[in-house]
Chains A and B, each alone.
Chain A
Amino acid sequence: MNVSFDFSETGSSFFDLLRERGPSLLPQFAVETTERREGMPQVPMGTTVLALRYRGGAVIAGDRQATEGYQVASRRVEKVYAADEHSAIAIAGAAGPCIEMARLFQTELAHYEKIEGMGLSLEGKSNKLAQMIRANLPLAMQGLIVIPIFVGYDVRRDEGRIYKYDLAGGRYEEADYHAIGSGGKDARATMKKLYRAGMAEAEAISLAVEALYDAAEEDTGTGGPDFVRRIFPSVKLVTREGFQDIPEERVASLCEEIMTARKSAREG
């Protein structure tokens, strides 16, 4: 009888554990073993996600649309996830791997906390995420690109922090704001004009919504507010008190405000 509940010594990392005991469970998905060619089915792509710092922490937000080529694959995709009590992750790229990566990262943080009896530092969390992206590098070379933004409230330093990554797993801390995805550039343009250091929470939330609104206007891959189906961007906060979801009604009314303001600006 083979009981695989054995005592081989593994560390505190769930990612390493999975590599050792369940490599088939690693997020590899429908890995295209051949080169990607024209006419092959496209992978659903996540689109605009952004983060910005404010006085009491950080805002992280994303649109809700996933596209397959020129088609809308899903209107209600969630791209922003709580990673743990004090941090959140938003991912742009191939939708399937994004969701899997978020789930793996959540398990990783909780696993470490349970094994060690205390959570990782924010620095440690962001570093672990970089290692996970690095492990995904061979897939990224085939076009399965998964790039996250990571935000967290650093309880030791008492401030919100933003980390951005590149394809190769490079990790950079961002001082004020960042946006990625197909509409990332447009969202960054809006934030570049309107961002101020030490903003209040309400201002930061409306800036995030406005940046996503602009991204949706300029980028076909980014979904705007949908008043018919009542689908709005997802906006979350990380603060000293923890992860917090901004209710949909509040985002809806912010979107309406932006629309009214722009309408009246046009009408003069």
Chain B
Amino acid sequence: MPLPYYVSPEQMMQDKAEYARKGIAKGKSIVALEYQGGVLILAENPSATLNKISEIYDRIAFAGAGKYGEFERLRKEGIRYADLKGYAYGREDVTAKSLANAYSQVIGNIFSMEIKPLEVEILVLEVGEGSGPNELYRIAFDGTIMDEKDYATIGGQAEELKLFLRDKYRDGLSVEEALRLATRSLEAAASQKVRAANLEVAVLDRGRAGRRFRRIPVAELRQLMEKEGDAAP
């Protein structure tokens, strides 16, 4: 009978992390940017129907990079969590912080207990009430949760995007400027032009009442991108 072989916990975690990283690196990237009127989320996504960005609750949005099936399950579960909480308490009591924590627990558990870790990275974003601050949370494949400011990036080229945005980001962007900055960061990372048809864009619009989440349809996106083209020097 062969002896069960021993693998040190460090080795096992390292292997799992490497596996998850490889999976995510294959996926396309997502950028979330704070602008004057809210939070803009932009994903490279050739599919018009398989969304990477979604509404969770009144002021909360979700974005997932990596394996579609896996972050889709996380997304649905997040909506269930938020709706149940909002129904049991009040609408203001549903916060990105508690949702991000719940995600972090679940993803972290799967990472340490299951053989196959989730190959996903997700963003949980909340637009502030009135002039209150926005909240951007990034949750990695091992459940690590990071509280980001100004911008957050996930997916295969998250690091490149972050480097680009670190130099170029400034406060008080308009929605067009935020869109331009986000597309330019994607173009810089991929070193090729991106087309409106390959983008999925949504905003958490501070100015709206009730449900702040709004998808920007491709036609409107084209217009916005043309407008930004004119504005560019």
The SS class assigned to the B binding surface is: helix
Q: Which of B49, B81, B88, B211 contacts A5 (CB 8 A)?
A: B81
B190 contacts A by Cβ under 8 Å? no
A-chain residues with CB within 8 Å of residue B105 when the two chains form the complex: 3, 5
A39 contacts B by Cβ under 8 Å? no
Q: Tell me how many residues of A have a C-beta within 8 Å of chain B.
A: 19
A37 contacts B by Cβ under 8 Å? no
Q: Mark A134-172, 1 if CB is under 8 A from B, else 0.
A: 000000000000000000000000000000000000000
Contact of B76 with A17 in the complex, beta carbons under 8 Å: no
B5 contacts A by Cβ under 8 Å? no
Contact of A7 with B77 in the complex, beta carbons under 8 Å: yes
Contact of B87 with A104 in the complex, beta carbons under 8 Å: yes
Kindly report which residue of chain A lies nearest to residue B102, judged by CB atoms: A5
Contact of A17 with B80 in the complex, beta carbons under 8 Å: yes
Separation of A239 and B223 alpha carbons in the complex (Å): 28
A115-B76 contact given A5-B81, A5-B102, A5-B105, CB 8 Å threshold: yes
Q: Mark B76-107, 1 if CB is under 8 A from A, else 0.
A: 11011101101110000000000000100110
Kindly report which residue of chain B lies nearest to residue A82, judged by CB atoms: B210
A-chain residues with CB within 8 Å of residue B86 when the two chains form the complex: 107
Contact of B84 with A114 in the complex, beta carbons under 8 Å: no
A-chain residues with CB within 8 Å of residue B102 when the two chains form the complex: 3, 5
Separation of A18 and B86 alpha carbons in the complex (Å): 12
Contact of A114 with B81 in the complex, beta carbons under 8 Å: no
Kindly report which residue of chain B lies nearest to residue A117, judged by CB atoms: B51
A264 contacts B by Cβ under 8 Å? no
Kindly report which residue of chain B lies nearest to residue A85, judged by CB atoms: B211
Contact of B106 with A22 in the complex, beta carbons under 8 Å: no
B-chain residues with CB within 8 Å of residue A115 when the two chains form the complex: 76, 79-80
B-chain residues with CB within 8 Å of residue A254 when the two chains form the complex: none
Contact of A18 with B54 in the complex, beta carbons under 8 Å: no
Contact of A10 with B80 in the complex, beta carbons under 8 Å: yes
- Please list the 8 inter-chain residue pairs (A to B) with the smallest Cβ-Cβ separation, ordered nearest first: A5-B102, A114-B79, A111-B83, A5-B106, A114-B55, A3-B105, A107-B87, A25-B88
Q: A5-B102, A17-B83, A110-B211 are in contact. List 6 more A-B contacts (CB 8 A).
A: A3-B106, A5-B81, A14-B83, A22-B88, A114-B56, A117-B51
**What are 20 A-B contacts with C-beta separation under 8 Å?**
A3-B105, A5-B105, A6-B106, A7-B73, A14-B87, A17-B83, A17-B84, A18-B84, A21-B80, A21-B84, A22-B84, A22-B87, A103-B87, A107-B86, A111-B79, A114-B54, A114-B55, A114-B83, A115-B80, A117-B54
- By a beta-carbon cutoff of 8 Å, the part of chain B in contact with chain A is 49, 51, 54-56, 73, 76-77, 79-81, 83-84, 86-88, 102, 105-106, 109, 211
